[in-house]
Amino acid sequence: MQMYVFKPSDEFACSTNIARFMDLHGIKDYRELIERSSSNIEWYWDAVCHDLGIEWFKMYSTENILDISDGIEWARWFTDGRCNIAYNCLDKHLKAGNGNKPAVIWENEQGSKRVLTYSELYSMSCRIANALSAIVGKGDVVCIYMPMVPEAIASMLACSRIGAIHSVVFSGFSARALADRLNDSRAKVLITADGYYRRGKPIELKKSADEALSMNDTVECVIVHEYSGMSFDESSRDIMMDSIMKEESSYVDCVEMNAEDRLFILYTSGTTGKPKGTVHVHGGFMVFAAQQAAYLIDMKRDDLLFWPADIGWITGQTWSVYGSLMMNGTSVIYDGALDHPSPDVVFRIVDDYSITILGMAPTALRAVMRSTDDTIDMYDLDTLRILSCTGEVIYEEEWLWYFRKVGRSRCPVINLSGGTEVGGAILSVLPIMPIKPCTVGVPVPGFDADVVDDYCNPVRGSKGYLIIRKPWPSMTRGILNDPSRYIEAYWSRFKSIWFHGDYATIDEDGLWYLHGRVDDVIKVAGHRLSSAELEAVLATHGAVAESAVISLPDELKGERIVAYVVLKQDYKASYETLRHELATYVESSIGKIARLDSVLFVEELPKTRSGKVMRRLVKAKALKMPLGDISSIENPASIDALDRAL
């Protein structure tokens, strides 16, 4: 039986935001909070809104907190309220006299540093908003394809301010991946940069952006931040960010938005190849992101958060940008690889800036752990009070190292899990509860979550499916341009119940643990990719007849990508040459995070009678595990063919 390794002191627990909320509502412990908040979700989310001081231009009415008249799948929240999330991130704090407080502290791997106060971030976002207003209006999409620089954060807030919808695309994605997202979202403006550096190597971002635009017919204007000094081709539709900062006004009113007006589109991989455009709205995401920052990582206005997650992922948007700013905190941003220019970048930043809350993905943590185990004791790390972790399953060795070496056995590890379509975390350790290694804690207050079997019956002590029975404010408002795919992905397994696609267990103490994805989504270094998306790229190569892409455990990255490929009969090339060619081909099509670790060639792949490749059998063979039911397989000889893979 695992034992608790952390129990918060009474002094620590009582000082937390979540304890203050519980005390206000007469709730004695976290179990009662979860029960009360999940049984009465309208009361809870309304109470969160008031407790955290979220301001509305027009307050929603109590009878319109939740509307499920179109079904739980299409739930709407705070429907008659008028708001703007940018107001709660910036304007509210300026009016309270906090304009001189640092909002963002930034540095990059070349050693450049900047500090932006709330007033300066407000002015920057207003200038960008004024430039955008000449091109886009409420409901238009602006794509942001930038490195981790303050201008990227200001661009998000500028879009929110004027009612435009931002769609941030991870700067590590290829031109093809960017083009797919531009086309699907019908973006009118692209904001990008000339380039950036990773581990000292130049990345020509504008070149990739221009290549993507050659495959797009919706973008009318490109705003370019001249950041790296790299040369680039300038076109007639390009506007330089520097000219915007010099020429545009530093003031513009926030547009009053309906709570259900779209705030952003963020793409996440799915199981059918094409990335899913998840849709989030002003009111619901505003309340949810504030809750996630305040109650899960206990962020307060004096905190400095360092959570090196790109804003192209939901972690960066929920905590490092919107959550931190709504709490009037300070977010420390690092544009660079976490092991460059030295392997101890993370701990040097913690000490340099007196970081109080540190977030790490397990992949990053594994890499840092290996490279700094002998040097970490040189750092004080004494300002830390909260450690957080998300992105994939964390293993006990790195969990204990994080807790003991980084947190000095005095900081709770807030391990949490959720998703892009969720808007943040479903499950989380709470800073007021005792903790065992590797647990993802309990359902986040406001979530009616459970672990069930194939018949939707609750299970305890054994593996089951993670489901959610009731809606929450930041639940995606469908999948962009594909409502049927949304229903199929999340609502088809059990009637009127959200099927999240994770395996989970609940132990005898009520603590939750995750065990990977039910579907074929691969997580590499915290980034989600789908097998189908990778297979779709391989299918366009002239040598490939068909393929099956699976993930296998990897000690450093969490999972590694392995492709089983059936070649076209007339294709002639050495296997070694072709392995390298296919790995490079996928990387150039999607990005470095999608590079194949192994390519194996087989005569045929196991398929169902309907023609679907049975990836689970391929994976079971690779792991030397039992195959389970193979009654639906059309070509049993293919099982033996996997053993002959080259």
Each residue's pLDDT tens digit, 470-479:
999 999 999 9
Per-residue confidence band for 611, with pLDDT thresholds at 50, 70 and 90: low
Compute the distance between CA of residue 388 and CA of residue 5 in angstroms, rounded to an integer: 16
**Ranges assigned E (strand) in 583-640:** 598-601
Query: Residue 63: pLDDT above 80?
Result: yes
Compute the distance between CA of residue 358 and CA of residue 346 in angstroms, rounded to an integer: 9
Two structure tokens written together for 12:
């620590």
Q: End of a domain among 200, 223, 258?
A: 258
Compute the distance between CA of residue 273 and CA of residue 549 in angstroms, rounded to an integer: 12
CATH, residue 554: 3.30.300.30
Model pLDDT, residue 523: 77
Per-residue confidence band for 41, with pLDDT thresholds at 50, 70 and 90: very high
184 falls within a domain: yes
Query: Residue 502: pLDDT above 70?
Result: yes
The domain of 604 spans 521-643
pTM of the model as a whole: 0.88
Per-residue confidence band for 609, with pLDDT thresholds at 50, 70 and 90: low
Structurally, the chain folds into a number of domains equal to 2
CATH, residue 175: 3.40.50.980
Q: End of a domain among 224, 258, 292?
A: 258
Compute the distance between CA of residue 153 and CA of residue 402 in angstroms, rounded to an integer: 29
273 falls within a domain: no
Tokens 């992949």 correspond to 363
The reply to whether omega before 341 is within 30° of 0 (cis) is yes
State the helix-helix crossing angle for 282-291 and 41-51, rounded to 10 degrees.
80
Query: Residue 272: pLDDT above 70?
Result: no
Two structure tokens written together for 161:
């301010």
568 falls within a domain: yes
Q: State pLDDT tens for residues 426-471.
A: 999 999 999 999 999 999 999 999 999 999 999 999 989 999 999 9
487 falls within a domain: no
638 falls within a domain: yes
Q: State pLDDT tens for residues 218-231.
A: 999 999 999 999 99
Compute the distance between CA of residue 44 and CA of residue 635 in angstroms, rounded to an integer: 54
- Asked which of 180-184, 200-204, 622-626 is least confident by mean pLDDT, the reply is 622-626
Is residue 498 within 8 Å of residue 491, measured between CB atoms?
Answer: yes
Tokens 């971002």 correspond to 205
Q: What DSSP letter does each residue of 18-48 carry, written as one string?
A: HHHHHHHTT--SHHHHHHHHHH-HHHHHHHH
Is residue 463 within 8 Å of residue 503, measured between CB atoms?
Answer: yes
615 falls within a domain: yes
Per-residue confidence band for 271, with pLDDT thresholds at 50, 70 and 90: very low
* 613 vs 151: which has the higher pLDDT: 151
361 falls within a domain: no
Compute the distance between CA of residue 501 and CA of residue 536 in angstroms, rounded to an integer: 22
Tokens 């513009």 correspond to 252
545 falls within a domain: yes
Q: End of a domain among 235, 258, 281?
A: 258
Query: Residue 582: pLDDT above 80?
Result: yes
Is residue 109 within 8 Å of residue 338, measured between CB atoms?
Answer: no
